[in-house]
Amino acid sequence: MDIGIFGATGVIGDETVREAVRRGHRVTAFARDAARFPAERETVDWQVADWLDTDSIAAAIGGLDVVISAVNAGYGVPDTIANAQNFVIGARAMIGALERHPSVRLISIGGAGSLEVAPGLQIIESPDFERSLIEDLQVPLAYEAVVRALREALNLYRQSNRNWTSVSPSALRIPAGGERTGRFRIGTDQILVRPDGTSDISAPDLAIALLDEVEQPRFIQRRFTVGY
């Protein structure tokens, strides 16, 4: 398949590029700044594209089978918080671009905050949410703006008639590295939790789940989650 990956220089994007290449797909990697392109590009076609601009996305994705959006709103937590609304702007731009290329499928990486901890109760609305931001994720309360923006972006996709899938990892932040085990669970709208109460997924295993969904679509116009 011809796969385009936005946010290809980030933690999740980089692992997704590696996994797609490993499986023999033709990969086009997009970043907003050519200075962030790797020195060794191997078989990947690196291009500049702006994930906040409909025209830029539309010009980039023509001829692709699938687009994976693994973008982040900034480099580091303070920058991401300051630019949280970019997730919403980017979702609108992507939907607009997909309207020009209706055959292209989108798989977008979202956040865990809109997953449910109980039927009808999302993480972001739960009594434990603020404590979890500070103690578990070790981010300031202002990070709530990022969580809400990611939820709004998901809702925009749900309201569209495009060929989309959204993926909510089991953690709001995924560190670089991590083990590639190939052993994980797939869920839908409820957060996946280990027996010890933790909820996590490595970037390499998330990339496996993404490419599995590319190759064998199960969640068209739906959200799914990945966790151990």
110: nearest Cα among 26, 227, 228, 224: 224
Question: Into which CATH architecture does domain 2-227 fall?
Answer: 3-Layer(aba) Sandwich (3.40)
- Could you give phi then psi for residue 80, rounded to 5 degrees? -65, -40
Q: Residue 20 and residue 66: Cα distance in Å, rounded?
A: 11
Residue 151: predicted pLDDT: 97
- The per-residue pLDDT for 173 is 62
Question: Three-state SS for 221?
Answer: coil
- DSSP annotation of 224: E
- Separation of alpha carbons 1 and 107, rounded Å: 14
Report which of 154, 161, 163 is spatially closest to residue 188, judged by C-alpha positions.
154
DSSP conformation letters of 167-183: EEESSS---S-------
Give the pLDDT of residue 145.
Answer: 96
Say what the pLDDT of residue 172 is. 62
Total residue length of the chain: 228
Helix intervals (H) in the chain: 11-22, 54-61, 77-82, 86-100, 129-131, 144-159, 203-215
> Biggest alpha carbon distance in the chain?
48
pTM exceeds cut of 0.85: yes
Strand pairing category for 121-122 and 116-118: antiparallel
Ranges of residues in the chain with a pLDDT under 50 are: none
Residues 225, 174 contacting (CB under 8 angstroms): no
**pLDDT for the residue 38:** 81
Helix or strand holding residue 118 (H, E): strand 116-118
Q: What share of the chain is helix, strand, coil (3-state, %, to 5)?
A: 40, 20, 40
